């Protein structure tokens, strides 16, 4: 009712008078939101840490390996010494490229890293001098938080997230002669240390500004023959290919749940609406138009959807926090609680379900008549 003296139909009486039905509807809809969020978060838990670990450090640096040919040598150590000299020559050439701020020679080891589901390996930067270790640390903004910096061959410094992630197994892919002497704090999953003399996988770290320029191509353009370039673009592309396949799984689960929910909802809603035929006929008889009745039913439904979104969001946040504490924190990975990608999907599916709910509503509104037809 309003103060102008015209009777109006409110959605609230039905909501207040049918709490069990409304509760069941709101819970089923909010469970969809919670489920969607849960799927999105779990899948993100699988891939996002890899994305952070594999591509984020390469925004302002790239890894490459110049192709050097050493024809005459007698021992591996001799080859290594000669090859190092050649690589350093290439590094000097690379440093001449405008924008490039420096290079560091490193020998590559691999450290283990796991996500909530799945595992990968990351480069461990093995340097020839402790000064190089310090240079890399400073460049990546890493700070020593426990232990000490590597000083002798075989000594490794790992980021505390990585240490938490794999514990003692972090160096499992490397020689037994490597051991951790300290932990640092940084925004990245970092591992670096002093190379053993047996390491022959010689590579270069090339420092450059995060300005979006293709420094890998610039290096190739100089004519220096290189085996590979590992930069942000190539790493990000690789990770996104894997994420993309998981994203399809996420969408499939969300859509399947949405379709099942829509079917259940349509059946339940049809039964509810059939129950209300006489009620709506009465309303029509005492002067309310079909449009007014339809609008009331729409508002009832809208209230349920809004409630479901609100409740679903609250439970999703709780679910996210629980996942973070139980799944992510123990292995030192971090996944954003806010899942931006699921918002359009959840809203899309909810809107589609709301749209589908119009079918039984519309069909039954068309059947509304005055009570004489029932009598």
Partner 1 sequence: MFELKNATMIYDMDKEEKVYAMRNISLQLPDKGLVGIIGPSGSGKSTMMYTMSTMKNLTSGEILYNGKQITNIKESERQTLRRDEFGFIFQRHYLVPYLTAVENAVLAANCPKKEAVEKARKILLDIGLKKNELDKIPAKLSGGQRQRVAIARAMMNDPKVLFADEPTASLDHENAYLVMDRLREYAMERLVIVITHDHSILKSTDMTIEVWDGSVSAVKIPDAAKIA
Strands 143-147 and 179-185: antiparallel
Per CB under 8 A, which of residues 14..73 are in contact with partner 1? 14, 17-18
CB of 3 to partner 1, least distance (A): 5
Nearer to partner 1, 17 or 223 (CB): 17
For partner 1, which stretch binds (CB under 8 A), given 2-10, 81-89, 195-203, 251-259?
Answer: 2-10
- Number of residues interacting with partner 1: please give it, by CB under 8 A: 26
Q: Tell me the C-alpha to C-alpha distance, in Å, between residue 273 and each of 229, 277, 319, 368.
A: 64, 7, 34, 11
Q: Is 274 in the site for partner 1 (CB under 8 A)?
A: no
Per CB under 8 A, which of residues 285..324 are in contact with partner 1? 285-289
The structure tokens listed for 205 are 């770290």
For partner 1, which stretch binds (CB under 8 A), given 10-18, 48-56, 70-78, 205-213?
Answer: 10-18
Q: Is 143 in the site for partner 1 (CB under 8 A)?
A: no
Per CB under 8 A, which of residues 89..128 are in contact with partner 1? none
Return d(Cα 145, Cα 142) in angstroms, integer.
9
Nearer to partner 1, 21 or 59 (CB): 21
Nearer to partner 1, 13 or 348 (CB): 13
With a CB cutoff of 8 Å and minimum separation 6, the contacts of 246 are 43, 46, 47
Q: Is 178 in the site for partner 1 (CB under 8 A)?
A: no
Say which DSSP state 340 is in. T
Nearer to partner 1, 42 or 368 (CB): 368
Nearer to partner 1, 200 or 285 (CB): 285
Task: With CA atoms as reference, report the closest residue to 65 among 220, 285, 191.
Answer: 220
Four-residue CA torsion sign, 86, 91, 92, 97 = positive
For partner 1, which stretch binds (CB under 8 A), given 85-93, 160-168, 230-238, 273-281?
Answer: 273-281
CB of 305 to partner 1, least distance (A): 20
Return d(Cα 283, Cα 294) in angstroms, integer.
11
Say which DSSP state 167 is in. G
Four-residue CA torsion sign, 166, 190, 128, 219 = positive
CB of 279 to partner 1, least distance (A): 5
CB of 311 to partner 1, least distance (A): 22
In a 3-state reduction of DSSP, which class is residue 195?
coil
Q: Does an H or E element contain 72, and which?
A: none
Per CB under 8 A, which of residues 331..370 are in contact with partner 1? 370
Q: Is 190 in the site for partner 1 (CB under 8 A)?
A: no
Task: With CA atoms as reference, report the closest residue to 120 among 166, 63, 59.
Answer: 166
Return d(Cα 280, Cα 285) in angstroms, integer.
9
Q: Is 371 in the site for partner 1 (CB under 8 A)?
A: yes
> How many other CB atoms are found less than 10 A from the CB of residue 252?
11
Q: Is 7 in the site for partner 1 (CB under 8 A)?
A: yes
C-alpha angle 25/27/31, rounded to 5°? 120
| Residue ranges that bind partner 1, judged by CB under 8 A | 1-3, 5-7, 13-14, 17-18, 278-279, 281-289, 370-372, 374-375
């Amino acid at each position: 009712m309003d103060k102008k003296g015209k009777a109006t139909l409110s959605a609230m009486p039905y909501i207040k008078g049918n709490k069990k039905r409304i509760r069941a509807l709101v819970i089923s809809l909010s469970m969809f939101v919670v489920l969607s969020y849960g799927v999105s978060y779990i899948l993100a838990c699988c891939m996002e840490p890899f994305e952070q670990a594999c591509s984020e450090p390469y925004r302002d640096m790239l890894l490459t390996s110049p192709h050097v040919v050493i024809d005459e040598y007698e021992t591996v150590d001799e080859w290594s010494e000669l090859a190092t000299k050649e690589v350093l020559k290439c590094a000097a050439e690379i440093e001449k490229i405008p924008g490039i701020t420096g290079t560091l020679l490193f020998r590559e080891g691999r450290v283990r890293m796991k996500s909530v589901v799945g595992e990968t390996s990351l480069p461990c930067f093995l340097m020839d001098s402790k000064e190089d270790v310090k240079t890399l640390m400073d460049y990546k903004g890493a700070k020593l938080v426990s232990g000490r910096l590597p000083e002798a061959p075989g000594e490794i410094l790992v980021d505390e997230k990585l240490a938490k992630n794999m514990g003692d197994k972090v160096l499992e892919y490397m020689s037994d002669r490597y051991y951790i002497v300290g932990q640092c704090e940084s925004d990245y999953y970092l591992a670096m240390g002093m190379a053993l003399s047996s390491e022959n996988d010689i590579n270069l770290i090339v420092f450059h500004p995060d300005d979006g320029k293709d420094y890998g191509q610039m290096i190739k353009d100089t004519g220096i023959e290189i085996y590979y370039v590992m930069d942000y673009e190539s790493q990000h592309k690789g990770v996104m290919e894997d994420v993309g396949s998981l994203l399809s799984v996420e969408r499939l689960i969300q859509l399947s749940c949405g379709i099942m929910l829509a079917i259940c909802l349509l059946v339940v809603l049809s039964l509810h609406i059939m129950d209300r035929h006489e009620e709506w006929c009465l309303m029509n008889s005492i002067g309310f138009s079909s449009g007014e009745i339809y609008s009331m039913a729409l508002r009832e439904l809208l209230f349920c959807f809004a409630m479901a979104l609100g409740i679903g969001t609250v439970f999703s946040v709780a679910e996210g926090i629980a996942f973070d504490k139980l799944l992510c924190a123990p292995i030192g990975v971090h996944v954003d609680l806010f899942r931006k990608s699921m918002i359009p999907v959840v809203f899309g599916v909810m809107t589609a379900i709301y749209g589908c709910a119009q079918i039984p509503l519309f069909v039954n509104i068309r059947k509304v008549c005055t009570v004489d037809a029932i009598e």
